[in-house]
Amino acid sequence: MTETTAAHASDPVLGALGPLGAPVDCAGSNRLDLAGPQALWLVTAGELDLFAVDAERQGHWHHLGRLAAG
């Protein structure tokens, strides 16, 4: 059983939503643009800091919080 399969078996949310998407490896990335209001992101490992900025990426970045796995 792979780590992902084991996680799906033990987490009902990941088990229900995981097969609907595709994994994204964010290791080493300093920025990931979200895909808009029709996308759902599920943090399965580690943590992500969430920031808001205007569409042109100008002006002040507002830290909204840190998202942990789960």
- Reported as a single tens digit per residue, the pLDDT across 9-59 is 678 888 888 888 888 888 888 888 887 778 888 888 888 899 888 877 788
pLDDT at position 2 is: 44
3-class secondary-structure state, position 56: coil
Number of domains in the chain: 1
**Backbone phi, then psi, for 14, in 5-degree steps?**
-65, -40
- Domain carrying residue 12: 3-68
